[in-house]
Structure 1
Amino acid sequence: MSAASSRLSGALVATLVAASFISLMSFGVRAAFGLFTAPLPPDLGITREAYSLAIAVQNLCWGVTQPFAGHLTDRFGARRVMLVGALLYLAGILGLMVSGTALHVLLSAGVLVGVGMGGASFSTALAALGRVMPESHRSWALGVGTAAGSLGQFVIVPLVQACIDLGAHWSAGAGCMAAGIASILVAAWFVREVPAAGGAAAVPAASARTVLGGAFAHRSYVWLVLGFFVCGFQLAFITTHFPAYLGDLGVSASLSSWAVAMIGLFNVLGAYLAGTLGGRWGKKPLLVWIYLVRGALIAGFVLLPVSTATVLGFGAGMGLLWLSTVPLTSGLVATFFGTRYMGMLFGIAFFSHQVGSFLGVSLAGAVYQRTGSYDAMWWGCVALSLLAAVANLPVREQPAERFLRLAGAR
């Protein structure tokens, strides 16, 4: 990022670094909850379905909270939103460490962590970057911020697994996660609050009702939001159940954690390339191809025999496609509506993503509990990939002029 970042002011570089670190830490910690799917339930005397429900609620609370966090970010800046979110996120992890029942797990890992993630997550970090970065650097910066989240998955997941192995208990990994979230409280202070010069802050703000009404009247936004639902369904299912799925097939916990880490490592490249190429080749066609290739990759993984090569290869392939939808989707939101209301409007898109996440995690837990297999979920992900590709075909990659006149969002 050196060539591009050298043309940014020191304050913007500091914001990019801080927001990327927050994206790295929050997403990396969030990805590690899947490591508890097998060891935590028997330790607490609860079912895997109950833990899956807690993580599903986490995703749903994250999604419900995100539009409100985005609205507060648009009005008051990202720093305070990130600080409050990090405190709630930290409280949820600490609460999980002392949980004794399924209800405690639901309230801590589910509700508290989910609400905290609404404020301290890569979504808020991307909204902050989208608001302050000049248009010439925006797509690139969104790619960097998203890639940082992927790097967090590569770094944090094996680190948490190492802590679990060292402490011989899942709570040792949770302690490692709590320390990581605490570091966000420091990084948030370096996030710039003022939008880029000449940005949308120069005109009076429209009401939230006006903004949302104008956005949902734009059909390309509606199609984009529907497609993002599929992304959430697939990613949350794989993040939460992939280690347990591999364990059921006899794959070691160490290899499983490295497979998840490979997703993170290769998504550093995938997300960065998506952000960079989206500014050159167009965001819509890239989204269509990402969903199509993702479906083909999942089908190939299910059909091939499980081995070290196929497990790590699947992790690498999914990594290239993992969060690559995020800079493209958030970039399209900025293309449609400008950056003034980006926090709230990307938050709405992300809510759709998290509704998909809720269904992906909870449905997988229910399917496994009743059939003892995840096969139906894998093939459902393949079918949804095709639907997401079709949903993005009608998207028109151009400003929503009617909305811009109505809400004064230029």
Structure 2
Amino acid sequence: MSIFRFPLVVWMGIGILIVSLGIRQSFGIFMMPISDTFQTGREFFSLAIAVQNLMFGAFQPFIGMAADRFGAKRIIAIGGIAYALGLYLTSIATSAGMLYVSLGILVGLGLSATSYVIILGAVAKVVPAEHTAKAFGLTTAAGSFGMFAVIPGAQSLLANFDWQTAMQVFAVLCTIMIAFSVFIKTSQGAGMTNPADDSQTLKEALKEAFNHKGYWFIHAGFFVCGFQVMFIATHLPSYIADKGLPGNTAAMALAYVGIFNIFGSYFWGLMGDRFNKRYVMSSLYMMRSVVLALFVTLPLTTESATIFGAAIGFCWLGTVPLTSGLVRQIFGARYMSTLYGLVFFTHQIGSFMGAWVGGRVFDHYGSYEPIWWATVVLALTAAILHLPINDKPIVRVVAQPA
């Protein structure tokens, strides 16, 4: 199937992801100005982002169940409203504690309803199984354009205005997601499901997944992914600033993460359709471990920071089409938003740990070095964990009437 023949839901989903994830990935450059405003250490902002990611994950299984039952359109619209409200309340906060509610809980709720789990769940219901990894890769890749587009814009807003104004501009930007949600249609085409999938209840689907060992290995691998990407997104700007490099170096490095993630996500998704997803996933994590080890070992310069952004960006969210593709391949599309939502919750526990522990370690040791090396070890562990997964589709038998 040519990418140009994908249904409209794919393209609307891409637009929603550009806004949702573009804003989310820019939060790292707000750490220092917000910390200066409230006169707090970095652990405060790190914990607020950690709460956001924990809530992002905690809401996700329930949001996924709601999307499977009521449709993605309503869920995305509600998420856009929560996202905008959280950003606006952050901009007018007068105490640091308010950010745990606005930037933490409300934005976390908004993200859970407007990001990959809901969008890919909708896509899975209208794209044939043999093309899902490619469709997921395209959606992830194009959605990743938001990082490339929004982060430089956020940097420009901070350079010309205050961070409160930047947050308010982002709140207005959320209305685009609400508008795009109107066009999200998820009617399943012929051949997309089978009668056994349709007759399965949610309780049966959960029991089936929980008894599948490979499902828990998928959880473990996505925990590692969450830890790594949120540590980097949250702390890379401060790490680069600590080394005395120019202020725009971090923004450029994160922008390169975004632009190379576009190519990487589609590449890894394409590889997932052509080769065994388990082995492709292990290769991705091996690449991450090498890139991270070289970044910590070699001298940090403007050039090396940019190269790191490009290299880690190429394998940044390639895990998304592969992980979601594995869930779709093994368990089918009927309850994908629910099952992938649970996996994503584990991802967000990792994100919570990566964002918070990074700030905790820095405040305690005055250095990020221990966490950088921890990400290397975790990547190697994730590469090994994907090898024993049984990725064969589960065969269900339709109960015949007496």
Alignment of 1:1-400 (within 5 A): 4-8=2-6, 12=7, 14-167=8-161, 169-200=162-193, 204=198, 206-400=200-394
Judge which range, 333-342 or 203-212, deviates more: 203-212
Letter in structure 2 aligned against 1:272:
Y
2:371 corresponds to which letter in structure 1? M
Rounded Cα–Cα distance in structure 1 between residues aligned with 2:387 and 2:116: 26
Alignment partners' CA distance in 2, 1:407 and 1:367 = 55
Q: Which moved more, 1:38-47 or 1:62-71?
A: 38-47
Q: Do the aligned partners of residues 405 and 257 (structure 1) sit closer, same or farther apart at CA in structure 2, a change above 3 Å counting?
A: farther
**Partner amino acid, structure 1, of 2:73:** R
| CA pair 129-29 structure 1, distance change in 2 beyond 3 A | same
For 2:62, give the aligned amino acid.
F
TM-score (norm 2): 0.96
- Whole-angstrom distance in 2 between the partners of 1:406 and 1:99: 55
C-alpha separation in 1, matches of 2:234 and 2:256: 15
* Residue aligned with 1:39, SS: helix
CA distance in 2, matches of 1:176, 1:315: 26
Greater CA deviation, 55-64 or 365-374? 365-374
Question: What code does the residue aligned with 2:383 have?
Answer: A
**Displacement of 1:6:** 4.1
CA distance in 1, matches of 2:254, 2:237: 8
Distance, in Å, in 2 between the alignment partners of 1:284 and 1:30 is 28
Cα deviation code 1:98-134 (max 9, x no counterpart)? 1122210111000110011111112211111112212
Distance (whole Å) between structure 1 residues aligned to residue 374 and residue 94 of structure 2: 34
When residues 345 and 407 of structure 1 are mapped into structure 2, their CA distance, relative to the original with a 3 A threshold, is farther
Question: CA–CA distance in 1 between the matches of 2:77 and 2:341?
Answer: 18
- Do the aligned partners of 1:195 and 1:201 also contact (CA within 8 Å) in 2? no
Q: 1:407 to 1:31 in 2, by over 3 A?
A: farther
Whether the 8 Å contact between 1:74 and 1:341 is mirrored in structure 2 is yes
Superposed CA RMSD: 1.7
CA distance in 1, matches of 2:96, 2:388: 43
Alpha-carbon distance in 1 for matches of 2:99, 2:214: 39
Residue 130 of structure 1 aligns with an amino acid whose one-letter code is: A
Going from structure 1 to structure 2, the CA distance change for 1:208 and 1:300 (only over 3 Å counts) comes to: same
Deviations 1:277-298 (A, max 9, x none): 1100121111101111101111
Measured after TM superposition, the shift of residue 252 of structure 1 is 2.1
Residue by residue over 1:56-99, the C-alpha shift from the partner in whole angstroms, topping out at 9 and shown as x without a partner, is 01000000111111111111111001001111111110011011
On the 8 A contact 1:133/1:141 being kept in 2, the answer is yes
State the distance in 1 between where 2:187 and 2:399 align.
20
Deviations 1:194-239 (A, max 9, x none): 1232334856554433221110111111111111100000001001
What SS does structure 2 have at the residue aligned with 1:190? coil
Q: Structure 2: give runs of 5+ residues left out of the alignment.
A: none
1:233-274 deviation line (CA, Å, top 9, x unaligned):
000100111111111111222121110010000010000011
Residue 215 and residue 110 in structure 1: after superposition, are their counterparts in 2 closer, same or farther (change >3 A)?
same
Number of aligned residue pairs: 399
Alignment gaps of 5+ in structure 1: none
Q: Cα distance, 1:137 vs. partner?
A: 2.9
Q: What is the CA distance between 1:182 and its match in structure 2?
A: 1.8
CA separation of 1:287 and 1:65: change in aligned 2, threshold 3 A: same
Q: How much identity, in percent, do the aligned residues show?
A: 37
3-state SS of paired residue (1:195): coil
TM-score relative to the length of structure 1: 0.94
On the 8 A contact 1:142/1:327 being kept in 2, the answer is yes
CA contact (8 A) 1:51 1:106 kept: no
For 2:364 and 2:5, locate their aligned partners in 1 and report how far apart those are by CA, in whole Å: 56
Alpha-carbon shift at residue 23 of structure 1 (Å): 1.2
Tell me if the contact between 1:263 and 1:320 (Cα under 8 Å) persists in the aligned partners. yes
